[in-house]
């Protein structure tokens, strides 16, 4: 303490004042806390890469704790551990705060999280809203053939057939993102966006019931590909000779007695089959497919709208039905018409593929398809929260299954592979309205890979069996080769179903399902993994005659 003297003079009076003053060094010290580094940039698409923050504290009083508490101002963007390690959570900016235990000092570190990913969300709607369409004017949203299928099956055109409100779609687009799939049957709209926090704005829309992430992946930076313009391939695919030389496809046909249908002139003429698959690479330039009728081809995968751009799986699958080369290879329905629909993103396994599947099924319905072949099955996804458990395979829960049930209610016959996991079947094969195919070899023995089981609600899957182990297919070079998988059992049976329906067009899709199941060699005593067994087309024809006769 020091004393300072000041003399103050006023008229007629002078006196001295004494003040005391503290030295600057004797003022109470304030703790100083600094975070090192003061700025951090993280990548959302590399969540395994964090950053360690440390603190430097000065001017702390003797005995005072140097312990700090870490916190994040927005845990949806970044989180912080008690040791100061920061982790990316979502794209955006926030601050990490270090606070001394005593509360006397705080410091902040700015954190910027970048994101090279895009996201896809499924918006579940409360309703479809008001539509400019009417069930009294179905020709505005359904083809003549689709309307005729409903009339033939005595199926009413109802509210589920109406498109989602255009105003709802506009409101969703106004929030941001691009609509990549939609379902009028299930009241869902799927969007692709670069900002994962748009989910909050989607949820805030008054007509949205729920929002579910169904995909995340690298944002494409390449320029958009040239838009695909479809050109149908309409040719004369009639085969005059009914005693066909099946070539390398003979076993495919004969194990189910399919030649009986062909010998009577039933080769699928007039039946439209949609092939929902992974892709049909360069198929229109494949010499073995030049004489098949392709009414249309379309990709529902957002990242690539060319159905012929990638993947050979759809080529192999389609060949089992469509190829019409007597002496070399003849499929099970060489005179049918085909729609080639790509829904599978081969680069990943996310729930969005089920949204694409349903979208494709609705498209198939609208253009008048009679039969859908789907050599796809879903049991697990990259998103842990979206992985299916056995209890989910109850025939009514999974997105693709619900879509298949809706398609069947419109009179479409659906054939689906059981899968190749030697375990319970996936979606949409678990549907009670889907004919699920298992695989056998040329000796009639079940393929060791065939998925099978009793569903949680007590149904047996697969339903019937067809050639799938060592099945003959046409490859991308136009030559035949042998491949194994229930993927080939499914189209072999789908083609034979087309021929059977051609023979007995008055059957409903439900009656068709019944006769094919009952034609199996184990129909009197079904058991897994065979289900009703190897379907026999001669028996199926006899059963069909009886149904028609008793009407």
Residues β-bridged to residue 329: 247, 325
Question: Over the stretch 85-138, which tens digit does the pLDDT of each residue have?
Answer: 999 999 999 999 999 987 788 999 999 999 999 999 999 999 999 988 999 999
Asked whether residue 458 carries a pLDDT value surpassing 70, the answer given is yes
How long, in residues, is the chain? 551
- Residue that has been written with the tokens 């003549």 in this structure: 144
pLDDT at 241: 83
pLDDT value of residue 330: 97
Give 229-244 pLDDT, tens digit per residue.
999 999 988 888 888 9
Give percent of the chain with pLDDT exceeding 90.
83
Q: Check residue 384 and give its pLDDT.
A: 80
Q: Do the beta carbons of residue 95 and residue 73 sit within 8 Å?
A: yes
Residue 29: pLDDT band (50, 70, 90) is: low
Whether residue 259 contacts residue 253, with contact meaning beta carbons closer than 8 Å, is answered with yes
**Residue 2 pLDDT exceeds 50:** no
Instruction: Retrieve residue 419's tokens.
Output: 């899968």
Rounded mean pLDDT of the chain? Answer: 92
Here the contacts of 283-287 (C-beta below 8 Å, separation 24 or greater) are 283/308, 283/314, 283/315, 283/318, 283/340, 284/233, 284/308, 286/315, 286/474, 286/476, 286/477, 286/478, 287/478
Name all domains of the chain by residue range, CATH numbers in brackets. Answer: 27-113 (2.60.40.1080), 117-218 (no CATH), 250-549 (3.40.50.200)
Mean of pLDDT values over 298-302: 96
Please give the structure tokens belonging to residue 509.
């899709």
Structure tokens at 405: 């049930």
Contact 279, 307 (CB under 8 A): yes
Chain centroid offset of residue 81 CA: 35
Q: pLDDT class for 353, splitting at 50, 70, 90?
A: very high
pLDDT at residue 338 above 50? yes
Is the pLDDT confidence value at 157 over 90?
A: yes
Mean pLDDT of 382-399: 91
- Buried b / exposed e along 116-128 (16+ C-beta atoms within 10 A): ebbbbbbbebeeb
pLDDT of 63:
74
pLDDT at 401: 98
* pLDDT of amino acid 9: 44
pLDDT of 16 strictly over 50: no
Q: Which of these, 448, 445, 300, 461, lies nearest to 377 by C-alpha position?
A: 461
pLDDT of residue 10: 43
Q: Which range is least confidently modeled, 9-18, 44-53, 253-262, 335-344?
A: 9-18
| Residue 317: DSSP 8-state | H
414-443: average pLDDT: 95
Range in 6-15, 248-257, 506-515 with the lowest mean pLDDT: 6-15
Closest CA to 85 of 40, 43, 116: 40
CB 296 within 8 A of CB 332: no
pLDDT at 381: 84
Rounded Cα distance between 281 and 482, Å, is 19
Pairing of the two strands 480-483 and 471-474? antiparallel
**CA gap 41, 49 in Å, rounded:** 11
Torsion sign (Cα): 456, 450, 330, 244: negative
DSSP letters, 454-513, are: E-TTS-EE--EEEE-TTEEEE-TTS-EEEE-SHHHHHHHHHHHHHHHHHH-TT--HHHHH
What residue ranges in 116-193 does DSSP mark as E strands? 117-125, 178-183, 188-193
Per-residue pLDDT of 197-223, as tens digits, reads: 999 999 999 999 999 999 999 988 776
Q: What is the pLDDT of residues 313-337, one digit of tens each?
A: 999 999 999 999 999 999 999 999 9
């Amino acid at each position: 303490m020091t004393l300072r003297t000041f003399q103050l003079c006023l008229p007629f009076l002078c006196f001295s004042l004494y003040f005391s003053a503290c030295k600057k060094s004797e003022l109470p010290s304030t703790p100083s806390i600094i975070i090192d580094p003061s700025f951090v940039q993280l990548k959302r698409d590399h969540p395994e890469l964090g950053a360690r923050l440390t603190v430097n504290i000065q001017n702390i009083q003797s005995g005072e704790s140097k312990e700090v508490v870490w916190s994040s101002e927005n845990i949806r963007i970044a989180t912080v551990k008690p040791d100061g390690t920061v982790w990316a959570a979502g794209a955006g900016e926030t601050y990490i705060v270090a606070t001394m235990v005593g509360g006397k000092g705080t410091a902040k570190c700015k954190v910027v999280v970048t994101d090279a990913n895009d996201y896809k969300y499924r918006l579940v709607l409360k309703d479809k809203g008001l539509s400019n369409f009417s069930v009294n004017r179905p020709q505005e949203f359904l083809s003549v053939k689709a309307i005729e299928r409903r009339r033939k099956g005595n199926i009413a055109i109802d509210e589920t057939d109406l498109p989602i409100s255009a105003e709802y779609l506009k409101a969703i687009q106004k929030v941001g993102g691009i609509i990549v799939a939609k379902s009028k049957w299930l009241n869902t709209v799927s969007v692709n966006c670069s900002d994962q926090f748009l989910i909050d704005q989607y949820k805030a829309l008054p007509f949205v019931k729920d929002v579910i992430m169904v995909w995340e992946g690298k944002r494409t930076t390449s320029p958009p590909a040239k838009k695909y313009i479809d050109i149908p391939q309409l040719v004369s695919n009639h085969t005059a000779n009914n005693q066909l030389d099946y070539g390398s496809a003979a076993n495919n046909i004969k194990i189910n007695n399919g030649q009986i249908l062909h010998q009577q002139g039933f080769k699928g003429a007039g039946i439209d089959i949609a092939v929902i698959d992974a892709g049909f690479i360069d198929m229109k330039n494949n010499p073995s497919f030049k004489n098949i009728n392709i009414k249309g081809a379309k990709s529902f995968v957002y990242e690539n709208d060319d159905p012929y751009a990638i993947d050979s799986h759809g080529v192999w699958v389609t060949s089992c039905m469509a190829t019409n080369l007597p002496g070399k290879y003849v499929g099970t329905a060489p005179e049918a018409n085909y729609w080639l629909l790509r829904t599978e993103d081969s680069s990943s396994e996310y729930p969005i593929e089920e949204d694409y599947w349903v979208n494709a099924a609705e498209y198939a319905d609208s253009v008048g398809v009679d039969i859908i072949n789907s050599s796809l099955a879903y049991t697990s996804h990259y998103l842990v929260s979206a992985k299916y458990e056995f209890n989910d395979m109850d025939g009514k829960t999974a997105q693709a299954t619900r879509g298949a049930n809706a398609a069947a209610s419109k009179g479409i016959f659906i054939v689906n592979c059981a899968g190749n996991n030697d375990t319970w079947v996936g979606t949409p094969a678990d549907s009670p309205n889907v004919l699920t195919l298992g695989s056998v070899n040329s000796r009639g023995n079940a393929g060791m890979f065939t998925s099978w089981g009793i569903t949680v609600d007590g149904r047996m899957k697969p339903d019937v069996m067809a050639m799938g182990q060592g099945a003959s297919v046409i490859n991308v070079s136009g030559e035949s080769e042998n491949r194994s998988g229930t993927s080939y059992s499914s189209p072999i049976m789908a083609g034979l179903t087309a021929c059977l329906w051609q023979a007995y067009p008055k059957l409903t899709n439900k009656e068709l399902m019944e006769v094919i199941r009952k034609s199996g060699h184990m129909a009197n005593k079904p058991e897994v993994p065979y289900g009703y067994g190897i379907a026999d087309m001669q028996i199926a024809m006899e059963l069909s005659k009886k149904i028609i006769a008793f009407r």
